[in-house]
A and B are shown apart, each in its own frame.
With several copies, the nearest count.
Chain A
Amino acid sequence: MKVEVRVYPKEGVLDPQGRAIASALGRLGHASVEDVRAGKIFFLEVDGTDPAAVEAEARRMAEELLANTVIEGFDVRIPSEP
């Protein structure tokens, strides 16, 4: 079963990456860009059939390893099949 974990800088925490990208986009002529936050996304393939259980497991993985919860938030979702 596929599950996605998205990790992003917490509100208020400095995001130098996002800032650098935003100003680069500005220089490249994408004047409409107002803000960029840079995060990570993990595409997991997990052995399991119960979406709730897989989601809970992914949440634990995020807390333990994938996100640095001191400065990052995360969310978990099971993508609908394409």
Chain B
Amino acid sequence: MTSAAHPRELIEEHNLSADEYDRIVEILGREPNLVELGIFSAMWSEHCSYKSSRVHLKKLPTTGPRVIQGPGENAGIVDIGDGLAVAFKMESHNHPSFIEPYQGAATGVGGILRDIFTMGARPIASLDSLRFGHLDAPRMRHLVDGVVRGIAGYGNCIGIPTVGGETTFHPAYDRNILVNVMNVGIVEKDRIFRGRAEGAGNPVIYVGSKTGRDGIHGATMASEEFAGDETRQKRPTVQVGDPFTEKLLMEACLELFRTDAVVGIQDMGAAGLTSSSFEMAGRAGSGLEIDLSKVPVRETGMTPYEILLSESQERMLLVARRDRLETALDVFRKWELEAVEIGRVTDSGRVVLFFDGAIVADLPAAPLSDRAPLYDRPCVAPAAVGSRGWEALPEPGSYGACLRRILASPNVARKSWIWTQYDHMVGTNTVERPGGDAAVLRIKGTSKAIAIKSDVNPFFCSCDPYRGAAIAVAEAARSIAATGARPLAVTDCLNFGNPERPEIMGQFEAAVRGLADACRALSTPVVSGNVSFYNETDGRPILPTPTVGMVGLLDDVERRVTMPFRRRGDFVALFGKTRDELGASEFLRTIHGRDEGPCPEVDLAAERRLVDLLVGLAREGRLASAHDVSDGGLAVALAECAMEANLGASVVLAPEPRPSAHLFGESTGRVLVTFSPGERGSVESAAQAAGVPMDVIGRVGGERLEVRAGGGPPLLDEPVAELHRIWTSSFARAIEEAAEVL
């Protein structure tokens, strides 16, 4: 690379390699000016271009009979019948949340909401998938507190319920926390909007908050790893969320979508006005002329460069029908929003930007995405982490004490400290609140409901990214099927370290394959998603964390199944096989302080049979309760069903495998169910017909959780009330010890 126009350092500061710069020159047939350099830098950042991940993401199944919109738009859309569809997507806001947890998490919620309502959907629920470091790591309680407050602050104010999520702690996240937020909306099938700038001559409207110097280069920041003290230096880029303005924007857009004024719309997310304008023109094969002097600004002296790359929140770019411009402006006026015509659609295939009457950038639209760099980065296949000898550990002296300690560990303890800070009921659709397997939301005006769940076990993934990712899909599907819903489709948020390192790229490649295989086996195509790389600091990456968000459909909301035991005398049965597996379990980490494998096995065909069985049994109304067996194993699953119901159970297990593995191992493909004695025959024959192993292991009743294996004294004999006290009080105590009060 030789550039007459720009010093090498400037090009490097824009995170463009020499090859990338040469490619720009080749596309343009000249050197870019500074504004254009900023545009390329943002559009070709990892965050916007997916340059390291695209080759792999192609392997994901993305189509299916219900898929209306797959990856590539603001959100994926799946048909649920009755003329309706669900739009959903998950997004990360990891780096900003580490720098400023409240605003980082809040603007993360704001961003994903815009992705949903720009499609024409009304958002009905969010999930937050959170990973934190060890609670005693520097700033960690402050980060936990700030993130939860931020999600609450934004979601509650705008009035979209946060109905579930996940919360995991591990020292690998000490300096790179993860904040992944998923949102789900409902849209009429024939009223879907897309991010397309169509129809030469149509006006381009800017609407929402004014543009400030927030987050300039946020997109390139999300594409760099943290180094030492850089967090401080990058601080001026912090964006502040304004949920009230977003509420107005959402209501205004949804109102406007009921008219015929909108041609295309996109939110200004990462890389702000740059990515929204280039992507809208690129998708439509059109061009745009935009006058940056017309963009409402919050600060004086803003340059075209700053206006283009600002990541101020709560802004949208919209193309209206030329003859309906006034309709659009009227709606925005009603909602007291600033809306300005800043340009028009052309058929030139170029995006031309003016400022103060002069052209400041003139670039072809399509090549910015079509000819973005694409890297098949070197991969080193990850070596599976196996056992370091846990098989030889003596059995614990007291299984009861183990259970109590596991119930108190932050990963397993009840997370009500979090979800009581979230409005999880607004909208009055939440028929199953947080705390169960999947949240269930009814669809008003129909007999249907959707079940939603986010899942991944990063400990599994760190032992075996392929299997761990496959298990994430399987676990989400199992949790959804446990409510009686049929899993429909998936969104994902793939959080990894630095992709320029072959080991990390190897993890990524394996995880994507795992997702792909599992999604195929379960017929749940991936319709949207997000990749977050560079989650590492000073060379220490996070655990590979491919978060899976899944949506399922219940035809009859009245047939939903819940987690707590229901009636004394009901049979307790376990679907699936328990193996002699303790690798990567909460038991090994909490009781023995051991982080070792192997990752449990996964049998995708068996998972599929289990899902089908659960959906069928729920439809026939045969189950009294159902609960997916995951973190903490069978003992924790039994305890959860008992504690939520304040009902005990007595259970007898087979002598194999060893008691610790039987109680606390995390073998996949298992669901705990209860049913009345009269249903036993039908449940057994259904399981047999489906080819799902089933053991009737006990009965619901009493006030204690009693578990035996063969003869002899019980392995567990614990008062349910005492377990409940430990489980419900531990999380708040762990966090609030030094939580901030502001």
Chain A residues within an 8 Å CB radius of B103: 70-71
A12 / chain B contacts, CB cutoff of 8 Å: 212-213, 236, 299
Residues in A neighbouring B79, C-beta threshold 8 A = none
> Is A78 part of the binding interface, using a Cβ–Cβ cutoff of 8 Å?
no
Q: By the criterion CB–CB under 8 Å, are B240 and A71 in contact?
A: yes
Please determine whether A14 and B100 come into contact, CB atoms closer than 8 angstroms: no
Within the complex, the shortest CB–CB distance from B215 to chain A, in Å, comes to 11
A50 vs B241: C-alpha distance in the bound complex, in angstroms? 37
Q: Of residues 189 to 230 in B, which have CB atoms within 8 Å of A's CB atoms? A: 209, 212-214
**How far apart are the CA atoms of A82 and B100 in the complex, in Å?**
31
In the complex the two chains form, what is the Cα distance from A66 to B299 in whole Å? 25
- Considering the complex, which residues of chain B in the window 16-71 have a beta carbon less than 8 Å from any beta carbon of chain A? none
Docked Cα-Cα span, A66 to B103, in Å, equals 16
Q: Are A14 and B742 in contact (CB under 8 A)?
A: no
- Most chain A CB within 10 A, of B240, B336, B742, is at B742
Task: Report whether A66 and B742 are in contact in the complex, using a CB–CB cutoff of 8 Å.
Answer: yes
- Tell me whether B212 and A21 are in contact (CB under 8 A): no
8 Å CB contact of A70 from B100, B213, B738: B100
Interface residues of B in 225-261 (CB under 8 A from A): 235-236, 238-242, 244-245
Which residues of A lie under 8 Å from residue B336 when comparing CB positions? 23
Q: Is residue A51 within 8 Å, beta carbon to beta carbon, of the partner chain?
A: no
Let me know if A52 is at the binding interface, CB within 8 A: no
User: Contact: B741 with A24, CB < 8 Å?
Assistant: yes
Q: List chain A residues, Cβ under 8 A from B299.
A: 12
Q: Please give the number of chain A residues whose Cβ is less than 8 angstroms from any Cβ of chain B in the complex.
A: 17
Distance A14 CA – B336 CA, assembled complex (angstroms): 18
Q: Indicate the size class of the contact surface on chain B.
A: 20 to 34
B298 close to A21 (CB less than 8 A): no
Please pick, from A9, A21, A27, the residue contacting B742 in the complex, using a CB distance under 8 A. A21
Tell me the nearest residue of chain B to A22, going by C-beta: B741
CB of B312 within 8 Å of the partner chain: yes
Chain B's closest residue to A16 (CB) is B242
- Report whether A16 and B245 are in contact in the complex, using a CB–CB cutoff of 8 Å: yes
Asked if B99 lies at the interface with its beta carbon under 8 angstroms from chain A, I say: yes
Q: How far is the CA of A17 from the CA of B213 in the complex (A)?
A: 18
B240 touches A68 (CB 8 A): no
A21 to B241, CA, bound (A): 16
User: Closest CB of chain B to A5's CB: distance in Å?
Assistant: 12
Q: How far is the CA of A43 from the CA of B336 in the complex (A)?
A: 24
Q: Are A14 and B740 in contact (CB under 8 A)?
A: no
A14 touching B738 in the complex, CB below 8 Å, given contacts A70-B235, A71-B100: no
Interface residues of A in 1-23 (CB under 8 A from B): 9, 12-17, 20-21, 23
User: Do B741 and A20 touch across chains, with their CB atoms under 8 A apart?
Assistant: yes
Q: Is the CB of A14 within 8 A of B99?
A: no
Cβ of A33 within 8 Å of any chain B Cβ, yes or no, is no
Residues of chain A within 8 A (CB-CB) of B239 are 14
> For window 301-316 of chain B, which residues contact chain A by CB distance below 8 Å?
312-313
B209 proximity list for chain A (CB < 8 A): 14
A53 within 8 A of B: no
Q: A16 to B214: give the CA distance in the assembly, Å.
A: 14
Q: Are A14 and B235 in contact (CB under 8 A)?
A: no
Closest CB pairs A-B (n = 10): A16-B242, A14-B240, A20-B741, A24-B741, A70-B100, A70-B235, A71-B238, A70-B238, A12-B213, A21-B741
19 pairs, A vs B, C-beta closer than 8 Å = A12-B299, A13-B214, A14-B212, A14-B239, A14-B312, A15-B240, A16-B244, A16-B245, A21-B741, A21-B742, A24-B740, A24-B741, A27-B738, A65-B742, A66-B742, A70-B99, A70-B235, A70-B238, A71-B100
| A residues apposed to B, CB below 8 Å | 9, 12-17, 20-21, 23-24, 27, 65-66, 68, 70-71
Known A12-B213, A14-B312, A16-B241; further 9 A-B contacts with Cβ < 8 A: A13-B238, A13-B240, A14-B214, A14-B240, A16-B245, A21-B741, A65-B742, A68-B102, A71-B100
